[in-house]
Amino acid sequence: MTASSKAKGAHAPVKLVLASASPRRLQLLERVGLTPDLLNPSDVDEIPHKRETPRALSIRLAKEKASRALEMPLVKELGPNTFVLAADTVVGLGRRILPKAETIDDALDCLSLLSGRSHWVYSTVCLVAPGKKLSTRCVETKVRFKRLSREDVDSYIASNEWRGKAGGYAIQGRAEAFVRLLTGSYSGVIGLPLFETVSLLEGAGYPVFHSWMTAPQSEV
């Protein structure tokens, strides 16, 4: 790299990319005053490897999403001072990986397994900073459900909130009423652990607090 190209990179505007199509992750970022310059989802094969643990799957997929997004044309066009943020959330029962429920049978199976038991939610955030410096944090949250009645299950299935959700439920909706105990990160269960996300961005040099000062104030 020449001196002139270094200087050009040094003065390039700082940009933030969220490599996700999840409206929940975008809402969580905006909740803490961070608005991405680009939403650039990156599709990866989410099928677990043989004997892969829920935690390992979450970490691998978050890294793959970030790396894939980094090579996309729209991201490259933003310039050298671009931060790419990706995340993945996996629900595990022991070593068993619960699927993202796509059918009613998927959701029924998940709810049956989770009823009256504790499970773990593994939410990994991966940040690629300028210079392709990659860093990750995996947050483990323990969630215990009450014993679900038939009425609980039927009404939740009817809500359709389970569709496409890891473990067959969305904690930010009706399923929050099923949670007896949560130890860890509530935002991580939703899909993006905010404390770890902000810490990674701040540590990598992203102007988090400048973004906070310039972000529109939310109504109380």
Q: Which of 147, 156, 197, 151 is nearest to 175 (CA)?
A: 156
- Catalytic residue (choose from 88, 105, 106, 152): 88
Dump the DSSP string for the chain: --HHHHHHHHHSPPEEEE----HHHHHHHHHTT---SEE-------PPPTT--HHHHHHHHHHHHHHHHHTSHHHHTT-SSEEEEEEEEEEEETTEEEPBP-SHHHHHHHHHHHTTSEEEEEEEEEEEETTTEEEEEEEEEEEEEPPPPHHHHHHHHHHTTTTT-BTT--TTTGGGGGEEEEES-HHHHHT--HHHHHHHHHHHT--HHHHHHHSPPPP-
Q: Is 88 a catalytic residue?
A: yes
Measured from the Cβ of residue 141, the count of other Cβ atoms closer than 10 Å reads 21
Q: Which residues are catalytic?
A: 88
